[in-house]
Structure 1
Amino acid sequence: MYLYRPVGLFEYRLIENTDFQVFPPRLYWQPIFYPVLNQKYAEKIALDWNTKDQASGYIGYVTRFELADEYLAQFEIHTVGDDFCQEMWIPAERMNEFNQQIIGKIDVVNIFKGEAFTENAELPEIFKVSPNSSKEY
């Protein structure tokens, strides 16, 4: 199954640093990782949220990645709003396991830039990964 994940500039840079192989661990205030089930919903989030959000660097990248249906079957699908707004909730403590299930690389399928976007945006301290993390980013 293909899943999608809208990400901002700083999360994108962390993914890029892994050669597009894994998503970064969740931050202490992010209890879940929520990939979405379709590109339409991912693009809505990227355009409506990421392009207007300073913490996203005013840019939204829509990523697509594949995992085996058998693995994903254990996670419940949540509809949050319109019928097409479907996502899976992956507990933060299972991110390493989830990342190991990704088939191939994480692809960028669309990019939306907000009016305030600049190429030289700096990563806020809150997004820097702890040196105790199990994966280098």
Structure 2
Amino acid sequence: MNTVTLWRPTGPAELALVEESGWTAWPPRLADQPIFYPVLNEDYATRIARDWNVKASGVGFVTRFEIEKVFLDWYDVQQAGGQTILEYWIPAEDLEEFNRHIVGKIEVVAEFR
């Protein structure tokens, strides 16, 4: 099975819900969050966690996980800024299916305060 490595910057509230899932799933989006944004490189995730999540909640985490490539191929990579600012835009209604295609555990790879 081919997988793709993705990263997700997150704050403590979202991370607590990931932990509750046994580190296997992302929580449903809130009503004002129609899109789930995993990113394609650790540097971009680090910048968001360090520069945005810390300001918003006092701590930011960078997570890493694998997802089946065959599932991810249904979505286009979005360039959200510079050449390395790459992410997927997963509609909130697709997140449950997205979670079913995660391979292994979601891991915390960095923490910023």
Which category describes the TM-score, using the shorter chain as reference length?
Answer: over 0.9
| Structure 2 SS opposite 1:104 | strand
Q: Which of residues 14, 24, 31 in structure 2 aligns to 1:28?
A: 31
1:10 aligns with 2:13: yes
Letter in structure 2 aligned against 1:32: I
Query: Which structure: greater strand fraction?
Result: 2
Counterpart for residue 104 of structure 2: 104
* Larger CA Rg, structure 1 vs 2: 1
Query: Which amino acid in 1 is paired with 2:50?
Result: L
TM-score normalised by length of structure 2: 0.95
> How far apart, in 1, do the equivalents of 2:81 and 2:39 lie?
13
Tell me by how many angstroms 1:29 deviates.
Answer: 0.5
Within-5 A mapping of 1:1-137: 1-53=4-56, 57-113=57-113
Q: Aligned-residue CA RMSD in angstroms?
A: 0.7
TM-score, length-normalised on structure 1? 0.78
Amino acid across the alignment from 2:43 = K
Give unmatched runs, 5+ long, in structure 2.
none
Percent identical residues: 47
- Which structure 1 segments of 5+ residues have no match? 114-137
- Give the structure with the larger helix fraction: 2
Paired residues, what number?
110
